[in-house]
Amino acid sequence: MQELEQCALIINDWMNENKLKMNASKTEFIMFGSRQQLDKCVTSSINIANDNIEKQKCIRYLGAFLDESLNFEEHIKRKCRTAMLNFFKIKSVRKYLTREATEILCLSLVISHLDYCNVVLYGVPQHDLNKMQRIQNMCAKLILKRKKYDSSRQALFDLHWLPVKARIEFKMMTFMYNCSRGNAPAYLMELLSHHIPTRSLRSSDHSSLSYSVPFNKRRTFGDMGFSNCGAEIVEHTANCNQGI
């Protein structure tokens, strides 16, 4: 903690020399870890340029809400709350709207909140994703003027919408495709390591890229890392293609 405070002090001095100001009111402090690890921590605040910053249980970073356990329950809760508020506003004026206008409003004001930063939700338990899935189902039925107990799956199919979990997997596969083509940011490609098999058949396709899945002792955090999730979804996709 002393090294962190000293680093912040150096940054503050540099900012003062360049006529900049470190805004303590917008500075947040959080510690990530498992429940057992966090119980061992006694630090409740940190000193940043003579300002005490209290520890937070959840912070907002680039529109994503990061909680101290990284289970993203708070992120899902807040995104669903905003999406539901916009959904009811659209529902109140649905009878005055065409299908195309309703779909545009739902995509821009409701579904956009469910899709924002959804790649960080890869590996989240299904019961948490079901909260977002229910909102998507409600939007699909609202657009098509379906009844409450009509098939949600059929409504999504008619609109050519992927379910929430599939949208997350699609976003992850998009990142992996860009990494394989060299179009992704360098800090993402550096997290991946190519898997080179020791033996391979002559008929095997050497042009296909595969990545090694790192071993993680702590499944709670390690399995949700990009290096692990990306390699797993590429391996799973390759196995499905071989099965077909």
pLDDT in tens, 119-128: 888 888 899 9
79 with 149, same domain: the answer is yes
How confident is the model over 83-138, as pLDDT tens digits?
A: 999 999 999 999 999 999 999 999 999 999 999 988 888 888 899 999 999 999 99
Give the separation between CA 64 and CA 78, rounded to whole angstroms. 10
Region for residue 193 given its phi and psi (left: phi exceeds 0; alpha: psi -120 to 50; beta: otherwise): beta
51 and 96 co-located in one domain: no
Residue position matching structure tokens 């709350």:
81
Tell me if 130 sits within 8 A of 105, measured CB to CB.
Answer: no
Question: What stretches of the chain adopt beta strand conformation (E)?
Answer: 45-48, 51-54, 58-61, 64-67
The whole domain housing 128 covers 72-163
How many residues can be counted in the chain? 244
Whether 152 and 136 share a structural domain: yes
Q: What is the pLDDT of residue 206?
A: 43
61 within a domain of the structure (yes/no)? no
Backbone torsions φ then ψ of 29, nearest 5 degrees: -130, 125
Query: Both 115 and 52 in a single domain?
Result: no
* Tally of domains in the chain: 3
- Contact between 167 and 177 under an 8 Å Cβ cutoff? The reply is no
142 torsion bin: left (phi>0), alpha (psi -120 to 50), beta (else): alpha
pTM over 0.75: yes
Asked if the structure places residue 120 within a domain, the reply is: yes
Which of 101, 135, 163 represents a domain boundary (last residue)?
163
Percent of the chain with pLDDT over 70: 85
